[in-house]
Amino acid sequence: MADEVRTAQPKEFYRKYLEQGVRPDNRELGEFRPTVLDIGSKNGSCISTAEGSALIRLGNTIVICGIKGELAEPKTETPTEGYLVPNVELSAVCSPQFRPGPPSEQAQVLSQFVANVLKNSQCVELEDLCIAPGKMVWVLYADLICLDYDGNVADACVLALTAALSNTSLPVVRVDEETGKTETDFKEEKKIQLTCTPISATSAIFEDNVLLVDPTRQEEELSTGLVTVVTDGKNICSLEKPGGSPLKDQQMRLCIERAFQRHTEACNLITQSQGSTLSTLTSPLVDR
């Protein structure tokens, strides 16, 4: 019975649950789905050929992130800065709403969002990517691929990227001043230092007044707006509310508060999974 109502009258279905302060998947309004994080290292799991990688499961949503390093010449105006190029791919694998071919608008918007988060938080100092000023720098390509789209890909992307970057190590490259030749030492590796860990938390607005954190795809479709807050634990790195229904100051404050909570949770998760290969963040309430 419940399934029929869910398909035929999704709004009514959700309304009934939300009146009781729970969601159809047993979550509370401010609760994230169980998060599984798998950070790859050179000899570990995930993508072993990449410089850094991470795979995240947020409920059914799966995003994989690979970081590749290449050498390039810096721009003339910023001779000591490397490049960090994020790209989000919403391939046809992840949902029937995406078609094969050039990146959809949503993919472009997500890529821009991730690029903004990196720029605003300055978690990677671009000057650390410099090998020889004016001559050679690292270009880090961060490719984020969504494998299963069940809502809230933005949060999954930011977490996957932060986790992958926190475990990225690059071989030491030396440039011979006179000949200009490069010498790569694969035995010696240097880890990238992150100045902060940006973590995002998205809430969906349901019927103009209920805020659902970490929305599933159905919740996203039913929502009348999304709010994404990215924090680094102390400050807000990015606050995005693209249109949708108006929000009271108090509700916005709740979103920010939740983002700070999520930051603590997610940081613990990253630290844990760096020790082991697989970490899960589940609350005892959740049983799916």
Positions touching another protein (CB under 8 A) are 105, 108-109, 111-113, 115-116, 119-122, 224-225, 227, 232, 234-249, 252-253, 256
223 φ, ψ to 5°?
-70, 160
- Please, which residue, 21 or 243, has the CB nearer to another protein? 243
Q: Are 231 and 198 in contact (CB under 8 A)?
A: yes
Task: Name the packing angle between helices 153-166 and 105-121 (round to 10°).
Answer: 50
Nearest distance from C-beta of residue 43 to another protein, angstroms:
35
- 7: Cβ contacts below 8 Å, ≥ 6 apart: none
3-class secondary-structure state, position 105:
helix
Q: Are 171 and 184 in contact (CB under 8 A)?
A: yes
Nearest distance from C-beta of residue 148 to another protein, angstroms:
23
Please state, as a whole number, how many other Cβ atoms lie within 10 Å of the Cβ of residue 125.
14
- Please, which residue, 115 or 286, has the CB nearer to another protein? 115
Q: How far apart (Å, rounded) are the C-alpha atoms in residues 22 and 18?
A: 5
- Please, which residue, 115 or 175, has the CB nearer to another protein? 115
Nearest distance from C-beta of residue 123 to another protein, angstroms:
11
- Please, which residue, 175 or 239, has the CB nearer to another protein? 239
| Residues belonging to the chain | 288
Nearest distance from C-beta of residue 227 to another protein, angstroms:
8
- Please, which residue, 243 or 284, has the CB nearer to another protein? 243
Nearest distance from C-beta of residue 3 to another protein, angstroms:
23
